[in-house]
Amino acid sequence: MPDSIKTITDKSEFDGIFKDYFAGKNIFIKTKSGNIKIQYLGYSEDRVAFRIPHVKNTPEMITAFTRQEMNTIYIAMKSAEHSEDTFVFEPLKFQIITETRKEDRKLFNIGGGGKDIFYIGNVISDLVINSALEKNDKKVEQIRESVRYDLENRFEKIKILFMHEGRGDVRMKQFLEKYEPIFIPDLSKDPEPKYEKAFRAYVSDIYSKDHKLSGQKQYISEATAPILFGNLIPYGYVQVNNTTPMTEGYLAMAKRSAIVINEFFRNENMFVPYDDRVLVCDISKSGIGVVFRERRTTRLFRTDSLVSFDMMLPTKKKSIVGAMVRNVNFLENGIIKVGLEIKSIDAISQVNYEEFLELAGKL
């Protein structure tokens, strides 16, 4: 959470803000595909000018930002005019967000030749998985019906959903945030203490928003397991409900079904990872930065998307990582930089990564 947020609309302060935070600094504009680096040219008579390379037009309203130490400074602007790559805007307001950085990242020499140079490989994203599911609807239906047939003698209500069918689905949204299964033994009575927190969250965040299920009051129990690619990227779930209470054995059945589905897709080679290596440029305990020049690689990295990859460390060990894309920056020299927050990592991979961080002096 930010330590403070300050909004400035008084135009008498604008000139000082541009001089303090924008002149000679790295500035970016936000776009759907990522952040594009721009150059501050000057501020005069309630207008500000930027050089924006490789862009023909901008939307009427646009946001630019820059960072300085613990501050991120955003400016909301209205388009006024442009000539070639010079764009003029009317500044409307600034927001200065101050947030204490919990850790620094170790920077690597991306020019090559250093002993610390290393890469990630075998990269796949939820965007690739989603596209593969859309293109292989017959295989999706084949495994869905197979699993449904296996479960229908044990459960009264069965639902198998994949991300391309409803990314806004309440359960899918939860699994994209956290990978824990849902288990409600008996909705008709107060839960045991160990289930109480999950029970309350389920009632407020899922059951109350699932109008179809909540309208069928006879169903009092649920077990739902996420379908996970490599235990790193959720891309669907198996949901079962009954009119009688469930034990944890029922949840185990849902989990096994989710594993069966993922194994089927793996054997069918449904999800193909990106072959090329991507250079790591900075690291910390909670995330890494990667850089590349090939624009087609950006299809793997969209803000807030999930990715998994193998990280071959300079210690000659490997870490298998699941991460969320936090930012995509298009730099002026043609390099594209992506910031990744580590979301999931198995025990051995974490040990290998922390061992390297310790050697690098960043743990």
Q: Which domains does the chain have, with CATH numbers?
A: 4-98 (2.30.110), 106-128+274-359 (2.40.10.220), 137-267 (3.30.450.40)
pLDDT tens digits, the chain, 363 residues: what are they?
Answer: 566 889 999 999 999 999 999 998 889 998 777 888 999 999 998 999 999 987 888 889 999 999 887 889 999 999 999 888 899 999 999 999 987 655 555 655 544 444 567 899 999 999 999 999 999 999 999 999 999 999 999 999 999 999 999 878 999 999 988 889 999 999 999 988 888 888 999 999 999 999 999 899 999 999 999 999 988 999 999 999 999 999 999 999 999 999 999 999 999 999 999 888 999 998 998 999 999 988 888 888 999 999 999 999 988 899 999 999 999 998 877 889 999 999 999 899 999 999 998 887 765
**pLDDT at res. 8:** 94
Return the H-helix or E-strand segment holding 342: strand 336-345
Q: How many CB atoms lie within 10 A of CB 1?
A: 3
Closest CA to 352 of 319, 323, 321: 319
- Residue 128 DSSP SS3: helix
User: Which conformational region is residue 67 in: left (phi greater than 0), alpha (psi within -120 to 50 degrees), or beta?
Assistant: beta
Tokens of 8: 């400035």
Residues in the chain: 363
Task: Compute the Cα dihedral for 230, 344, 133, 270 and give only its sign.
Answer: negative
Return the H-helix or E-strand segment holding 142: helix 137-151
**pLDDT at res. 77:** 94
Tokens of 358: 């310790």
Closest CA to 18 of 99, 98, 94, 79: 94
d(CA 220, CA 184): 8
Return the H-helix or E-strand segment holding 204: none
**pLDDT at res. 30:** 82
d(CA 281, CA 117): 8
Instruction: Print burial letters for 70-109: b (CB count within 10 Å at least 16), e (below 16).
Output: ebbbbbbbeeeebeeeebbbebeebbbbeeeeeeebeebe
d(CA 243, CA 226): 22
**pLDDT at res. 48:** 95
pTM: 0.76
Integer angstrom CA distances of residue 222 from 1, 3, 92, 199, 318 = 34, 40, 50, 11, 38
Check if the beta carbon of residue 257 is closer than 8 Å to that of residue 225: yes
- Crossing angle of helices 137-151 and 248-267, in 10° steps, is 150
